[in-house]
Amino acid sequence: MAAITAAETFSDASITILEKNKTVLNKVRISGGGRCNVTHKPSDLRFFIKNYPRGEKLLRKLLHNFDAQATVDWFEKRGVSLKTEVDGRMFPVSDSSHTIIECFLKTARKLNINIRTSTVVKSYSSNSENGFSVNLDNGESLQADKLLIATGGYPKLSSFDWISEHDIVTPQPSLFTFNTPNNYLLPLAGVSVQDVLVKINGTKYEWRGPLLITHWGFSGPAVLKLSAWGARDLAEKTYQFICKINWVPDLNEQQVREFLIGEKTKTPKQLITSHAKFGIPSRLWKAFADQAEVSEGSIWSEVSHKILNRMTELLTNSQFEVNGKTTFKEEFVTCGGVSLSDINYETLESLKTPGLFFAGEVLDVDGITGGFNFQNAWTTGYVVGKEIGK
Ligand SMILES: Cc1cc2nc3c(=O)[nH]c(=O)nc-3n(C[C@H](O)[C@H](O)[C@H](O)COP(=O)(O)OP(=O)(O)OC[C@H]3O[C@@H](n4cnc5c(N)ncnc54)[C@H](O)[C@@H]3O)c2cc1C
């Protein structure tokens, strides 16, 4: 995006992309399960930036230059239509990430952008007269007036050594599911609940949305979004904390208790375990009833208030011990990277090395799952492309 925008903005610039892999855009290829979740449905900027646990302030500025609607238009202009799914994620109509890759490659070819693959950058040096020397691992040294580093996120701090004149915020995973090894719900793996409220005990983090029970714990949008917001604090807790779940988030404890007590007169003869309430999946309801020690064959008129209190607690304030995390579908999204305090917020130029720019996930910016990380890459790439040839 940066190279194309620069080529379109500064027609006499000579632009080279250096890529260590055999092909460019490998993450695009595997993204979104091979479909590439290109961006998220355009919305008011105030709401859109709420999807960035880190980098909100920077993107509030930059999205004015290139937002989700601009992304949609950019691809449309180059022959790629995007479609929106019910949850707001946007994909190419073809449902194939190859469409996105082809679009970039075709445009780059047309603009005579030089792409050198299997080319590993080891280091760079700069001086005010000659610009940059970019040193490759094969010993070769290239000259450039300006340099953009868009190397993506690195999971290890040491991988940033070659840009270490900049402050680096230690990278941490920011998209993961919760492991709950002693969870009585694990046999229900595969059961999902459309709307729950998940909170992390002792923190401000909470998220409402769908939740999936897995073989090892909890996943689904509510958990993945919490993992992004809490990434740094949860790493500090070495992924050991209590998560609390309200399975009926529209109701509070008292309302749930009153409802359950009401069933004693409304449906006195009904078997408790076999008639799930509140739209809870029947297997999950049965697990709650077992956990509350509702005896098999028990009917509502017979159930004690003590048991109803236990059911109320389970439904509104279930507590699970989280011990560890699991990467979500091989998506190694990291938070951390080049500190935004070292960057000019208007241009993305380094405040320490004039002529050097940063874009994409290498910056300490990350979004929650749903297309926001690519939008960060497109936006910051575009902004650098508009600036770098000045
Ligand atoms: C499996 C997976 C699925 C994802 N799905 C989505 C999704 O659907 N939607 C979404 O918004 N986000 C998704 N993400 C996140 C998204 O892919 C990244 O946020 C985005 O690719 C970041 O773009 P970037 O250009 O900053 O970095 P990258 O896409 O990581 O590109 C950086 C490039 O720099 C190259 N490079 C690194 N170091 C050097 C070096 N020293 N010399 C030469 N080249 C170098 C790398 O090989 C790489 O090609 C996904 C991530 C993963 C891992």
User: pLDDT (tens digit, 9 = 90+) per residue, 308-339?
Assistant: 999 999 999 999 999 999 987 766 778 999 99
Q: How far is CA 136 from CA 19, 125, 190, 371, 377, in A?
A: 11, 12, 48, 32, 24
Predicted confidence at residue 264, as pLDDT, reads 95
Predicted model pTM: 0.89
pLDDT tens per residue across span 64-114: 999 999 999 999 999 999 999 999 999 999 999 999 999 999 999 999 999
Of the candidates 366, 388, 387, 390, which has an alpha carbon nearest to the alpha carbon of residue 377? 366
Atom of ligand 1 nearest to the CA of 376: 19
Atom of ligand 1 nearest to the CA of 21: 47
Tell me how far apart the alpha carbons of residues 132 and 142 are, in angstroms, rounded to a whole number. 8
Query: Which stretches within the chain are classed as H helix?
Result: 2-9, 26-30, 45-48, 56-62, 68-77, 97-110, 221-229, 231-236, 253-266, 282-291, 305-317, 372-387
Length of the chain: 390
Q: Which two tokens stand for residue 256?
A: 């749930």
Rounded to the nearest 5°, which phi and psi values hold at 67? -105, -170
Mutate to test the pocket of ligand 1, among 115, 373, 379, 382 (most ligand atoms within 8 A of CB): 373
Mutate to test the pocket of ligand 1, among 151, 332, 366 (most ligand atoms within 8 A of CB): 151
> How far is ligand 1, taken at its centre, from the CA of residue 190, in Å?
30
CB atoms under 10 Å from CB of 81, counted, come to 11
pLDDT tens per residue across span 114-170: 999 999 999 999 987 889 999 999 999 999 999 999 999 998 999 999 998 999 999
3-class DSSP string for 112-130? CCEEECCCCEEEEEEECCC
Which residue lies with its CA nearest to atom 37 of ligand 1?
151
Which residue lies with its CA nearest to atom 33 of ligand 1?
151
Query: Which stretches within 197-296 are classed as H helix?
Result: 221-229, 231-236, 253-266, 282-291
Alpha-carbon radius of gyration of the chain? 25
Cβ-proximal residues to 9 (8 Å cutoff; 6+ apart), any chain: 385, 386, 389
Predicted confidence at residue 331, as pLDDT, reads 67
Which residue bears the tokens 């920011």? 174
- Average pLDDT score over the chain: 96
For the residues 240-257, what does the mean pLDDT come to?
97
CB atoms under 10 Å from CB of 115, counted, come to 17
Environment class of residue 309 by beta-carbon count within 10 Å: exposed (0-12), middle (13-18) or buried (19+)?
Answer: middle
Tell me how far apart the alpha carbons of residues 222 and 235 are, in angstroms, rounded to a whole number. 18
Predicted confidence at residue 328, as pLDDT, reads 79
- Pocket of ligand 1, beta carbon within 6 A: 18-21, 26-27, 30-32, 36-37, 120-121, 150-152, 330-333, 360-362, 371-374, 377
